[in-house]
Structure 1
Amino acid sequence: MKPGDLLADRFRLDAVLDNTSDFSTVWIGDDTVLQRPVAIRTLKLSDHRTAQVLTGAQRAAEINDPSCVHVLDIGRAEEFNTAFIVTAYVQADTLSDVLADGPLDAVEAADLVAEIADTIARVHDRGIAHGCLDPLQILLAPTGDAIVLGLGTALAVHHPERDAEMVDDVRSLGAMLYACLTARWPMPSSTGLPAAVRDGADLVPPRKARAHVPTPLDRLCRRALGETVAGEEPFDNAREFSVALRAHLTRSGTTAAQRLDRRRSTGPVTTLKGVRQQGRRGVIALIALAVSIVIGGLLLLGVQVLNSVFSEPG
């Protein structure tokens, strides 16, 4: 398939966004009927996984959640030996893009992952597991809110192992929190982030991987990753994990209203990455101003010295 190809006499392929999968490709395209940009995932009809993914996309289309990218259409294009899933196209940084600049602070990390866990809990309520949750599947809207991608590829709908897949989603949420706290990814999947540090076969806890991670948040992260910590069982439910994160934030002294104000007070900055970049620009500007003041002071001192030399008699 190539740019310009038209699927179902409606959806035109424009450019490849992601071709890292062994059986599907993600394109940016156009809905030529409604004249709007869309994302199109094409899948090989000959692959045994395609039928299951299409079933997942069909169920995902029932979800009308502002925190999920909507599935708009599914279909087959026999002439290209392909099936396709069409979703809304959202132009925004992924969480992986943001974390490439470094970890978030503990409050940002807990608040963001709690929001993602809330979304995944609502998806689980509909009997759907995400199945491939990682920082590449999270977009950050202009408000800083998280939008979940990838529901169109959920493999666990009506699957005998659906409950296990939902637990896997919780493990991925734990990995997401680990990544937000350390800017390292603790799972085998590729996200563009460096791999988490290990001590032999054991994952180094977030608190040891990065200074100043609060102990309670470290423990919540490890429980979501599947550990029993201080006698407390692992989280197996996305909503329980979200509730625990919000309780931690409340105990740490930040209210939901304060966290919302914090996100909305960024003005023209559209993402957490932008906030960090704006902060760096501010620091650079202050340094430049300080250097200018020092240089100006030295020049003034030099002029005064010269004046005193030439004004001395004789």
Structure 2
Amino acid sequence: MTQVGEGREASESTPQVMTFGAPSVGEILAERYELAEHINDDSAGRQVWRGVDVILRRPVAVVLRYPGGDSAAEMLQAAVAASRVIHPSLVGVYDAIDETENDRAYVVREWVDGEALRDVVADGPLDATRTTTVAHAVADAVAAIHATGMVHGNIHPGTVLIGDDGRVVLADARADSADTSETDIRAIGGVLYFALTGHWPHDEVSPSNLPDAVRDGSGAIAAPRQARAGVPAYLDDLTMDLLDKRLALPAADVLAAELARLDTAGDEPYYEDAGPLRLLGSGSSGQGAAVARNAPETTRPAGRKIAAGVAGLLAIAIVGLLFGMSALGGGDDSDAGATPAGNGTSVSPAPGSDAPVTKPQPFPLTADQVRIVDPPTGNRKGLEGVDKIVDGDDNTGWAPYSYKTANFGNLKPGMGVLINLGQPRTVSSVTVTLSHPGASAELRSGDSDPGATSAGDDAIVKSYQRVGEEQFEKYDGTKMVFNGFDPDKKYQYLLFFITEMPATQDGQYPYRVDVQEIVVAGLS
């Protein structure tokens, strides 16, 4: 598969192609970037090329515009601004050059082997789990941009790239004076809608050459659950609220946090299929009555404000979750909504009990509850920054040294993070966010911490036992979820242990992965 073109979706026709200054295969730009293949032209007339950085010997994408000068100023300024934001879900920008002598300008950025969301969905809308993963990555990237005071301004299915390795990245930031942080958030709602339906909501987000959203006779947008079957209510509600201009919007980091929760929960069985399009009520069997696909949608409450933050978003998700659990509950009332403990979901009370249902919650962790474990063959360097693993920010983390090979340069069996929960606890899940896909890791547990010494770390690596059967081998994502815990056992000491690193850079020591965040959830 090839690198897709980037550029703001626009209704105007492609500008007339000029021949003066036209690039050619084999040409080397700035004495460094060799043009290998013309991929396509975007909607604004920019050419997208696959190239090679002849100095670092790495593939690059070259987005070239001619004539350059004033007409390319916006593209170059946006590229310079974007290059200041480093995030695993943002395409890296390497260079921005205006060749006045050749009357052309170009931006050199990271090459992503894969396809744009636009092209992926051409084969059919995505399921709920994959849609949530894509939107989570986009929201995470936008949150990083907004944290700098900038906006992206060009979020649509052509700039959301899905790599062959599963990585989701956002490309081509290009904001103008009309763009705000709110337009970015609204566009994430558009990405959700497009992934679920294959249509782009023009009026609610921005004009595009993509098919417009499905609408009723009055021109009102149809909810994803009305456009296709199988869309969970929690995702339908979140999408529609982000597109509803009557409602205030959450900040990007708040939205990213909620999508992260849904992304993790997407592995749970009740998220796989939320049942019928809409549940109107409960019959004697405990099953809801489904409406037909083309039945009119009930009136949406206008007073709900998702800008209230995570609490508001959680309320939306919980409503959808209840619908999905009801739909999957079947006709046996005794089993409705019950899920075994220890898999990261809710725990049902005993039959006939009036006790409330208890749900696993994240345990608050502080810096003194985590430390790096480095087996004795290691040099016990690069252990700093462990506090960032539990700071609640996926954009920061512990960064170990880089190595020549994936298995830590054949120096040691791996490295890990030891977590002390303070006391024995019932644990349901451990979620680890990494900086790059391709790592191998497992989760282990033990009875004590012998101490932060070479001998102590050696004892931990040798004595701790794997939790369940889960072991990630060259995992193609950046979020690992371990949930194979024994519900009848309590855990205090957990070891997240990396056994192989992915190649994430060029040079003599290309293998490295950062641990961005660890969240342990369970019952208090």
TM-score w.r.t. length of structure 1: 0.70
Which of 223, 230, 234 does residue 212 from structure 1 map onto? Answer: 230
Secondary structure of the equivalent of 2:60?
Answer: strand
**Could you tell me how far apart the structure 1 residues matched to 2:40 and 2:66 are?**
15
Secondary structure of the equivalent of 2:35?
Answer: strand
Check conservation: 1:138, 1:149, Cα contact below 8 A: yes
Which of 124, 132, 137 does residue 110 from structure 1 map onto? Answer: 132
CA RMSD for the aligned pairs? 3.1
Which of 176, 184, 190 does residue 209 from structure 2 map onto? Answer: 190
**Could you tell me how far apart the structure 2 residues matched to 1:93 and 1:141 are?**
6
**Are residues 215 and 91 of structure 1, via their aligned partners in 2, closer, same or farther at CA, if it must alter by over 3 Å?**
same
Secondary structure of the equivalent of 1:144?
Answer: coil
Check conservation: 2:137, 2:169, Cα contact below 8 A: no
Which of 177, 183, 190 does residue 192 from structure 2 map onto? Answer: 177
1:281 maps to none
Check conservation: 2:85, 2:144, Cα contact below 8 A: no
Tell me the CA shift for residue 79 of structure 1.
3.2
Tell me the CA shift for residue 45 of structure 1.
4.4
2:30 maps to 8
**Could you tell me how far apart the structure 2 residues matched to 1:94 and 1:10 are?**
27
In terms of fraction of residues, the more strand-rich structure is 2
Tell me the CA shift for residue 49 of structure 1.
4.4
Q: How does 1:213-292 map to 2 (within 5 A)?
A: 213-228=231-246, 233-235=247-249, 237-247=251-261, 250=265, 251=318, 252=321, 253=345
Secondary structure of the equivalent of 1:174?
Answer: helix
Check conservation: 2:89, 2:137, Cα contact below 8 A: no
TM-score w.r.t. length of structure 2: 0.44
List gaps (5 residues or longer) in structure 2. Answer: 1-21, 266-317, 322-344, 347-427, 439-470, 478-524
Check conservation: 2:68, 2:105, Cα contact below 8 A: no
**Could you tell me how far apart the structure 2 residues matched to 1:259 and 1:210 are?**
33
**Could you tell me how far apart the structure 2 residues matched to 1:189 and 1:108 are?**
23
Q: Percent identity?
A: 30
1:155 maps to 175
1:89 matched to 2:111: yes
**Could you tell me how far apart the structure 2 residues matched to 1:91 and 1:47 are?**
30
1:201 matched to 2:219: yes
Secondary structure of the equivalent of 2:39?
Answer: strand
**Are residues 143 and 33 of structure 1, via their aligned partners in 2, closer, same or farther at CA, if it must alter by over 3 Å?**
closer
**Could you tell me how far apart the structure 1 residues matched to 2:224 and 2:171 are?**
26
- Give deviations 1:189-237, integer Å, cap 9, x for gaps: 235xx43212242221112111232223222111212344xxxx24253
In terms of fraction of residues, the more helix-rich structure is 1
**Could you tell me how far apart the structure 1 residues matched to 2:94 and 2:140 are?**
23
**Could you tell me how far apart the structure 2 residues matched to 1:269 and 1:94 are?**
21
Tell me the CA shift for residue 38 of structure 1.
1.1
- Give deviations 1:248-303, integer Å, cap 9, x for gaps: 5655459986898xx999989979xxxxxxxxxxxxxxxxxxxxxxxxxxxxxxxx
Aligned residues: 256
**Are residues 113 and 256 of structure 1, via their aligned partners in 2, closer, same or farther at CA, if it must alter by over 3 Å?**
farther
Which of 159, 176, 181 does residue 166 from structure 1 map onto? Answer: 181
1:132 maps to 154
**Could you tell me how far apart the structure 2 residues matched to 1:82 and 1:138 are?**
26
**Could you tell me how far apart the structure 1 residues matched to 2:139 and 2:182 are?**
12
**Are residues 134 and 66 of structure 1, via their aligned partners in 2, closer, same or farther at CA, if it must alter by over 3 Å?**
same
**Could you tell me how far apart the structure 2 residues matched to 1:259 and 1:206 are?**
31
Secondary structure of the equivalent of 2:101?
Answer: helix
**Could you tell me how far apart the structure 1 residues matched to 2:250 and 2:35 are?**
40
The answer to which of 54-63 and 7-16 deviates more is 7-16
**Could you tell me how far apart the structure 2 residues matched to 1:146 and 1:256 are?**
24
**Could you tell me how far apart the structure 1 residues matched to 2:164 and 2:252 are?**
25
1:35 maps to 57
2:66 maps to 44
